């Protein structure tokens, strides 16, 4: 038998239950659970939804300041210039659309968190906190990357095919070969899309969801802990990260982004995932406390006595019990 110490109201994934769990649960009906959910998370969900709406409005209505301020070089008859090598790729529809990516970034965490809560005997409030953190990570990342796209941007690999440039005179620069987007004759909606290369929003939000979910799996199953875990648990931990990397592969395959757009999106999403997880839970890697949820209006207090729940490791799987003691 192994013990892990912690503190707070939720010491292990089952600690939100009381020693007389059955009796306590019968006292709280469905209506009380909804009221508790609204009290704890209602304002957070409302704020996140507002931030998401603002992000969509910026993406739709704010001009691409960074992309439209850039120049590209046009050398008629030249197909081997560095500019053509970078921006002369054929245009392809995205393998994974924006809305498909959004659905995966929410649906996959919902599936994982639901299964983990069922398997570790959690409850609705613990599930709600996990989902709130996952959605918060995705929407915050979406908000930041849209602002960067708008103010920085850049040309996508298929820029020339989408732009269809038709200069009506010499350009600017030393040799008069540098032009802005205003000489484009292609579809305006596609041109606006092609000006928003950096960073990759698909990759950024996928890493925001995937890294947060992997940290959640670690907190629930104690992978970085004091026993050797079963390989199946390692697969659970690595699956969200693998899916995020595959998103980068899909974006690279359909030529929607350059390699540096993908790397930049991955770094941004990873940073926001760590930031979000730490803002929702007491710690990131400390197995004693990284499953303990933080409250919005009450500081976490580590008392002089530590509550801890018993568990044992069977074939590398943590098995949690309902027994509690004081040490």
From first to last of its 327 residues, the chain has per-residue pLDDT tens of 344 433 334 434 443 444 444 444 444 566 776 777 777 788 889 999 999 999 999 988 998 899 899 998 887 766 656 777 788 889 998 899 888 999 999 999 999 999 888 877 667 888 888 999 999 999 999 999 999 999 999 999 999 999 999 888 888 888 888 999 999 998 999 999 999 999 999 999 999 999 999 999 998 888 887 778 888 889 999 999 999 999 999 999 988 999 999 999 999 999 999 999 999 998 898 887 888 888 777 666 665 444 444 456 666 676 655 443 333
The DSSP string of 257-307 is: S-HHHHHHHHHHHHHHHHHHHHHHBS-SS-TTTTTPBPBTTB-----SS-E
Query: Cα-Cα-Cα-Cα dihedral of 316, 320, 324, 327, to 10°?
Result: 20
The DSSP symbol for 19 reads: T
Sign of CA dihedral 179, 183, 185, 191: positive
> How many C-beta atoms lie closer than 10 Å to residue 287's C-beta?
21
Give the burial string for 9-33 (b: 16+ CB within 10 Å, else e).
ebbbbbbbbeeeeeeeeeeeeeeee
Determine contact, residues 121/13, Cβ cutoff 8 Å.
yes
Helix or strand or coil: residue 2?
A: strand
Q: What is the pTM of this model?
A: 0.83
- Distance of alpha carbon 26 from alpha carbon 95, whole angstroms: 48
Query: Could you give phi then psi for residue 209, rounded to 5 degrees?
Result: -75, -45
């Amino acid at each position: 038998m192994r013990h892990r110490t912690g503190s707070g109201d939720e010491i292990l994934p089952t600690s939100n239950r009381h020693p007389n769990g059955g009796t306590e649960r019968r006292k709280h009906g469905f209506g009380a659970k909804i009221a508790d959910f609204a009290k704890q998370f209602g304002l957070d969900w409302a704020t996140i939804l507002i931030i998401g709406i603002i992000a969509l409005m910026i993406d739709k209505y704010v001009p691409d300041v960074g992309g439209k301020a850039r120049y590209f070089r046009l050398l008629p008859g030249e197909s081997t210039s560095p500019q053509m090598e970078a921006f002369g790729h054929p245009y392809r529809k995205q393998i994974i659309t924006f809305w498909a990516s959004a659905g995966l970034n929410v649906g996959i965490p919902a599936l994982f968190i639901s299964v983990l809560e069922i398997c570790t005997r959690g409850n609705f409030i613990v599930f709600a906190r996990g989902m709130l953190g996952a959605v918060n990570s995705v929407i915050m990342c979406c908000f930041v990357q849209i602002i960067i796209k708008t103010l920085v941007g850049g040309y996508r690999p298929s820029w020339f095919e989408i732009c269809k440039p038709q200069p009506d005179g010499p350009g600017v620069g030393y040799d008069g070969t540098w032009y802005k987007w205003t000489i484009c004759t292609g579809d305006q909606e596609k041109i606006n899309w092609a000006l928003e290369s950096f960073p990759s929003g698909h990759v950024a939000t996928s890493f925001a969801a995937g890294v947060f979910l992997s940290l959640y799996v670690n907190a629930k199953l104690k992978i970085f802990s004091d026993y050797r875990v079963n390989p199946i648990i390692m697969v659970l931990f690595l699956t969200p990260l693998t899916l995020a990397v595959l998103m980068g592969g899909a974006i690279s395959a359909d030529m929607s982004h350059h390699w540096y757009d993908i790397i930049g999106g991955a770094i941004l999403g990873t940073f926001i995932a760590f930031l979000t997880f730490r803002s929702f839970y007491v710690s990131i890697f400390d197995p004693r406390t990284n499953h303990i949820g933080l409250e919005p209006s009450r500081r976490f207090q580590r008392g002089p006595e530590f509550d801890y729940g018993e568990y044992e490791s069977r074939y590398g799987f943590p098995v949690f019990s309902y027994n509690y003691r004081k040490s």
